[in-house]
Amino acid sequence: MARSMNSKKNESDTFYEAIKRFHATLEYMGLVSWSIISRSSTAIIDGVQKITETVTRNACKPFEDITHVTRTIFGKKAYVDEKIKGIEETIKRLEERLAFLEKHGVRIPEGDYQEKKQELDKERKEILSLIVEENKRLRNLLNR
């Protein structure tokens, strides 16, 4: 009795194990296939994209050139003229400024210049006092 019961149990285990392995195999095959398909599609897409872009660009170039030339001839002329006029005005202003500077010299904003009277350090004060002494001597000679 015990033997027959064991034989049934063994049979059912083998069958169950076989189904499980078959299922695992199927799953593995599916993953491998998916992997192959996805990898190859990526490679293909890149190639296709490159080819399509080049073709499109070359096909469109003549039209782009035509548009550009047309714009330059008819549309941009006024813009260029305006720019040249602007540059001419700037040059004229610069020439006037240059003539003024040649006549009057370089002028630095007065505010920064005139009002400041620096606090002098001891060393500088001493140097200045020596200059004064020398000039006093000269003045004395001059007044003699």
Partner 1 sequence: MAYTKILHVGIDLGTSRSVIAADNGVRTFVSSYVGFPKDAVSMRMFGKRDIVFGDEALRNRLALDLYRPFDKGKLKYSESLEINPKEYEKAKSIARNLLEHLVGLVTEEEPEDLIIRGVIGAPAMASIKNKKTLLTIADGVLNDSMIVSEPFAVAYGLNLYSSALIIDIGAGTVDLCRMAGTIPTEEDQITTLKAGDHIDQVFLDLIRKKHKDANFTVAMVKRFKEENAFVSAQGESVFIELPVRGKPVNHDVTEELREACRSIVPEIVEGVRKLVASFDPEFQRGLKRNVILAGGGSQIVGLQREIEKYMKKALGYGKATKVEEPLYAGANGAMKLAKDMPDEYWDQVTSRKKQKQT
Q: Kindly give, in sequence order, each residue whose CB lies less than 8 Å from that of residue 5, ignoring residues fewer than 6 positions away.
A: none
Instruction: Indicate the burial class of 133 (C-beta count within 10 angstroms; 0-12, 13-18, 19 or more).
Output: exposed
Cβ of residue 51: shortest distance to partner 1, in angstroms? 55
- Pick 9 or 104: Cβ nearer partner 1: 104
User: Residue 120: CB partners within 8 Å, gap ≥ 6?
Assistant: 128
**Cα distance between residue 24 and residue 130, in whole Å:** 105
Cα separations (Å) of 53 from 39, 56, 59, 60, 112?
22, 5, 10, 10, 62
- The closest of 20, 43, 40 to 32, measured between CA atoms, is 40
Using the contact rule CB under 8 A, the part of the chain among 27-35, 51-59, 76-84, 113-121 near partner 1 is 113-121
Out of 3, 62, 118, 122, the only residue in the binding site for partner 1 (CB under 8 A) is 118
Task: Candidates 18, 19, 48, 127: give the one binding partner 1 (CB under 8 A).
Answer: 127
Q: Which is nearer to partner 1, 63 or 113 (CB)?
A: 113
> Least distance (Å) from partner 1 to the CB of residue 99?
14
Q: Of these, 3, 9, 117, 122, which contacts partner 1 (CB under 8 A)?
A: 117
Q: Which stretch binds partner 1 (CB under 8 A): 12-20, 60-68, 85-93, 110-118?
A: 110-118
**What residue ranges bind partner 1 (CB under 8 A)?**
104-110, 112-114, 117-118, 120, 123-125, 127-132, 134-136, 138-139, 141-142
